[in-house]
Amino acid sequence: MTRSIYAVARVPALIRYGIAAIVAGFMVFAGVALAGAGHGWVAGGFGCFALAPICFVAWANAVGARPSRPRAVATAGLALVACIVVAVATSFEGFARFVHHWSAVGIGGILVAGFAYLNALLVSAVTIKRAG
C-alpha cells in the first residue's frame, strides 16, 4: 500500500520535469533550426543552446506546486543576459546577414525565434507574478 502512495506522490515531480525537459529539447531544436548548419543566424542558434538549461529551470519552477520567486527572478535575469549577448553577437555577425536570413526563412523562422527567446522571459515573469 505504501508503494502505491509513494508512486502517486512522485507523479507531479515526474510531470514537472518532463514538461521542462520537453521545452529544453525544443530549445535545442530551435538552436539547430536557427543556426542552419552555419548558414543561418549563428548567434541566435548558439543563444538557444545557452537558453536551454535556463528554460528547463524556469519551466520546472513554473509548473511546480509552489514556485520559488528568487529562482524565477534568477532565470529571468539569466535569460535577459543571454538575449543581450545574442544581440551583441548578432551585431558582430552583421545585421545585413541577419536581415537576409530572416527574409529567406519567413514567418516560420520568426515564430521559432519568438518561441525561443520569449519563452524563458515570459515564463519567468508569470512565475514571479504567481509566486508573489
Q: What is the mean pLDDT of the chain?
A: 84
Q: What is the pLDDT of residues 69-102, one digit of tens each?
A: 999 999 999 999 999 999 898 888 887 777 877 7
- Residues 63/22, Cβ–Cβ less than 8 Å: no
- The answer on pLDDT for 8 being more than 50 is no
Q: pTM (2 decimals)?
A: 0.83
Percent of the chain topping pLDDT 90:
39
Counting the structural domains of the chain, the total is 1
Q: Given 3-state DSSP classes, what are the helix, strand and coil percentages for the chain, each rounded to the nearest 5?
A: 90, 0, 10
Domain region containing 14: 2-131
